[in-house]
Structure 1
Amino acid sequence: MTTLQEAVQRFTPLDPELMARRLGRPGPMPRVIIDTDTANEIDDQYAVAWALLSQDRLNIEGVTAAPYSFLHHRDGLYEAVAALQTGSGTDHDSKFVGPFAGWAKRLLADGRTADDIEFVTPDVGEERSYEEILRVFDACHVAHEGKVFHGSPAHLSSYDAPVDSDAAQFIIKQARKREDGPVYVLAMGALPNIGSALLMAPDIIDNLVVVWTSGFPSYAPFCNEPSLNLVQDQMSSRLLFECGVPHVYLPGYHVGAQLTISRPEMEHFVKGHGAIGDYLWHLYTNNPLHTKYAISQPETKTWVIWDIINVAWMLDAAYVPTHLTTSPHLDEALYWQKDPSRHAMLEAYDVARDAVFEDLYDRLAKNG
């Protein structure tokens, strides 16, 4: 079986000058593909809508559906619920204090158990994402014909077996249009579509820029396991950092996590602003993750709209400040290992939260 190091040998390193150009600011009307697990929660819908309402600034080539699944959480949740039910999961038992303890306690307090939680497989997640993309297009009154593509039904399982899909083929086709300039793939989920495209066509890295949000900053000493986007398809995640494709990394934790929105803001700036405003309001007030995670009094809480950071970076450098660094290694334990001799990568270190939402609100107001 081909190792990551062997797979990376298929890629020709970019000339540093070309890499610098690709990591510079996009030119006017940049070509964009949005790769999104839209039905995973509610943030991708805001990002896709903002992009579709900004087509005077972005050339949207297409939107590709990415799979998602929470199956990797299932065993931990069942174990935590069982421990609490039997009294063994105390605050002094480190085995059950962590990411699943609070969730399990809230479920039991709500009169539910782990059996009440749906854990979809990646193929179901991809299909739901595809259908959700179509709903956002319709709510924005934008024709979706020829613009929306099915993605991989599974995460990468081998560097010898990229998953062929309409999405991967579309990414390859657009990246090979070198006369049209680079294509920016705004990656808002796990990466099997992009990883597979790269493995099937290593030559495309000279005309492709991957703008991905996930994980902790590359200088942070934390395990990236909490990042859903990163942890689901770890093979594709590692390939992205190793293969030398131009990459704009937008950390979710500490950076994208600042993009919270409250119910009063939603009611004032989003609700009533066209069909898409009403749909986003519906999603916010019927958030499936509130039910899944047994969130009480959701009206008092804000929600993170993580994935609009990708669109924000495309639209204005001031929205998402970045610095040039080097691509880290992602080790087997999901920690970053920095190496100053590696190829360049652009990384966000902050986000202008208010300016980002003001732009989104402005687009919704003009639409509504």
Structure 2
Amino acid sequence: MTTLEEAVRLFKPLDPSLMKQRLARPGAMPRVIIDTDTANEIDDQYAVAWALLSQDRMRLEGVTAAPFSFTHHREGLYQAVAALQSGAESNHDSKFVGPFAGWAKRLLADGRTADDIEFVTADVGEQRSYEEILRVFDACGEDATGKVFRGSPRHLPSYDEPVESDAARFIIDQARKRDDGPVYILAMGALPTIGSALLMAPDIIDNIVVVWTSGFPSYAPFSNEPSLNLVQDRLSSRLLFECGVPHVYLPGYHVGAQLTISHPEMEKFVNGRGDIGDYLWDLYTNNPLHKKYAISDHETKTWVIWDIINVAWLLNDAYVPTYLTTSPHLNEDLYWQGDASRHMMLEAYDVARDAIFEDFYDTLKRAPRK
């Protein structure tokens, strides 16, 4: 079986001058592909809608469906619920309750158990993402014909087995249109489709820029296992940092996490702004993750709209400040290992939260209604 180190040998390192060029600000009307696990929660819909309504600022080539799955949470949640039911918490035996304690407590208080939670597999997640992308296109008054592509139905099984999909082939085809300039892939989920495209066509790294949101900053001392985008497909996540593809890394924790929106803001600035505004309002006020995680008092709580950070970075350099650094190693336990001798990477360290949402709200003003 091919190791990561062996897989990396497939890729020809980019000349440092070309790497700096790719990591510079995009030119006018950059070519864009969005790779999104749109049905995972409610944030991707905002990002896709913002992009669809901003095609005077980008050339949106297509949107590809990414898979998602929470099956890796199942065992931990079952253990936490069982521990609480057996009285472990009252005995302060926290090791048996674990990181899922809060979720388990809320479920039990709501009269439910882990059996009431749906844990979809990756193929089901990809199917739902595809269907959700089509709904967002429709709500934005956009024709999805030839623009939306089915992605990988599973996470990368090994570096010997890239997963065939329409989306992976679409990415390769767009990347090989070198006369049209680089294509920016706004990656908003796990990476099996992008990882597969890279393994099937290592030559494309000279004409794509992967803009990915996930995990902790590359200098953080924590394991990135809590990051859903990163942990689901460990092989593709590690490949991204090793293969030398130009990469804009947008940490979710501490950076994208600042992109919260409140119920009053949704009601005033989103609800009623075209069909898509109504749809986003409905998603916000009927958030499926509120039920899943047994979150109550919804109107008093904000929600993180993580994935608009990708679109924000593309649209305005002031929205997402970045700095040049070297790509870290991501080890098997998903900890960062810095190495100053490595190829360059662009990394975000903050967001201009208010400016980002003001742009989003202004863009919604031109949303159509049927």
TM-score range, shorter chain: over 0.9
Structure 2: distance between partners of 1:62 and 1:366: 21
- State how far apart, in whole Å, the 1-side matches of 2:235 and 2:160 are: 11
**Runs (4+) of structure 1 moved beyond 4 Å?**
none
Question: Which whole-Å deviations, capped at 9, do the CAs of 1:98-118 have from their partners, x for residues lacking one?
Answer: 420000000000000000000
Q: Are 1:351 and 2:351 counterparts?
A: yes
Answer whether contact 1:89 1:95 (CA < 8 A) is retained.
no
2:29 alignment partner in structure 1? 29
TM-score, scaled to structure 1:
0.99
Identity in percent: 82
Distance 1:89 1:353 in 2: 38
Query: Following the alignment from structure 1 to structure 2, what is the Cα–Cα distance between the partners of residues 68 and 367?
Result: 29
Is 1:108 paired with 2:105?
no
Q: Determine whether 1:152 maps to 2:161.
A: no
Alpha-carbon distance, 1:334 to partner: 1.0
TM-superposed deviation, 1:330: 0.7
Amino acid at match of 1:284: Y
2:137 paired residue number:
137
Question: Contact between 1:31 and 1:182, CA under 8 Å: does it hold in 2?
Answer: yes
Local SS of the residue matching 1:35:
strand
Q: Is the 8 A contact 2:329 2:336 kept in 1?
A: yes
Which whole-Å CA distance do the structure 1 matches of 2:199 and 2:306 have between them? 28
1:362 paired residue number: 362
Contact 2:83–2:97 (CA under 8 A) maintained in structure 1:
no
Give, in angstroms, the shift of residue 190 of structure 1.
0.0
Please say which of residues 290-299 and 96-105 is displaced more in the overlay: 96-105
What is the SS of the residue equivalent to 1:108? helix
1:16 aligns with 2:16: yes
**Any residues of structure 2 matched to 1:42-53 within 5 Å, and which?**
42-53=42-53
Structure 2 residue matching 1:222: 3-state secondary structure: coil
Distance (whole Å) between structure 2 residues aligned to residue 246 and residue 266 of structure 1: 35
Matched length: 368
Give per-residue Cα distances to partners, 1:236-286, cap 9 Å, x unaligned.
Answer: 000000000000000000000000000000000000000000000000000
* Post-superposition CA distance 1:185-233 (Å, at most 9, x none): 0000000000000000000000010000000000011111110000000
Secondary structure of residue in 1 paired with 2:21: helix
Match of 1:226 in 2: 226
- Report if the CA contact (8 A) 2:80-2:98 is conserved: no
- d(CA) in 1 for partners of 2:223, 2:354: 29
> 1:235 aligned to 2:218?
no
Kept after mapping to 1: 8 A contact 2:184/2:210: yes
Q: CA deviation digits over 1:51-101, x for unaligned, max 9?
A: 000000010000000000000000000000001011124473232444200
The 3-state SS of whatever aligns with 2:67 is: coil
Q: Deviations 1:282-328 (Å, cap 9, x if unpaired)?
A: 00000000000000111110000000000000000000000000001
Secondary structure at the counterpart of residue 99 of structure 1: helix
Q: Does 1:318 align with 2:339?
A: no
- Name 1:202's counterpart in structure 2: 202
Could you tell me how far apart the structure 2 residues matched to 1:270 and 1:138 are? 17
SS in 2 for 1:306: coil
Asked if the contact 1:90/1:96 (under 8 Å) is kept, the reply is: no
- For residues 160-186 of structure 1, the C-alpha deviation after alignment (integer angstroms, 9 at most, x for no partner) is 000010000000000000000000000
Q: Does 1:80 align with 2:80?
A: yes
Q: Does 1:2 align with 2:38?
A: no
Residue ranges of structure 2 left out of the alignment (5+ in a row): none
Please state how far the C-alpha of 1:159 moved relative to its aligned partner.
0.2
One-letter identity of the residue aligned with 2:194: I
| Structure 2 counterpart of 1:245 | 245
User: For the residues of structure 2 that align with 1:264 and 1:77, how far apart are their CA atoms?
Assistant: 32
What CA deviation, in whole Å up to 9, does each residue of 1:103-136 have, x standing for no partner?
Answer: 0000000000000000000000000000000000
- After superposition, the Cα gap between the structure-2 partners of 1:67 and 1:7, relative to the gap in structure 1 and judged at 3 Å, is same
CA contact (8 A) 1:187 1:211 kept: yes
CA distance in 2, matches of 1:149, 1:96: 43
Please give the alpha-carbon distance, in whole angstroms, between the structure 1 residues aligned to 2:331 and 2:163.
Answer: 23
Name the residue aligned to 1:57: 57
In structure 2, C-alpha distance between the alignment counterparts of 1:269 and 1:99, rounded to whole Å: 36
**Structure 2 residue 162 is the aligned partner of structure 1 residue 162:** yes
Unaligned runs of 5+ in 1: none
> In the alignment, does 2:287 pair up with 1:280?
no
Q: Distance in 1 between matches of 2:39 and 2:22?
A: 30
State the distance in 2 between where 1:93 and 1:331 align. 31
2:212 matched residue in structure 1: 212
Q: Which residue of 1 aligns with 2:189?
A: 189
Q: Is the 8 A contact 1:91 1:97 kept in 2?
A: no
Amino acid at match of 2:230: L
The DSSP-based 3-state class of the residue aligned with 2:184 is: strand
What's the secondary structure of 2:84's corresponding residue? Answer: helix
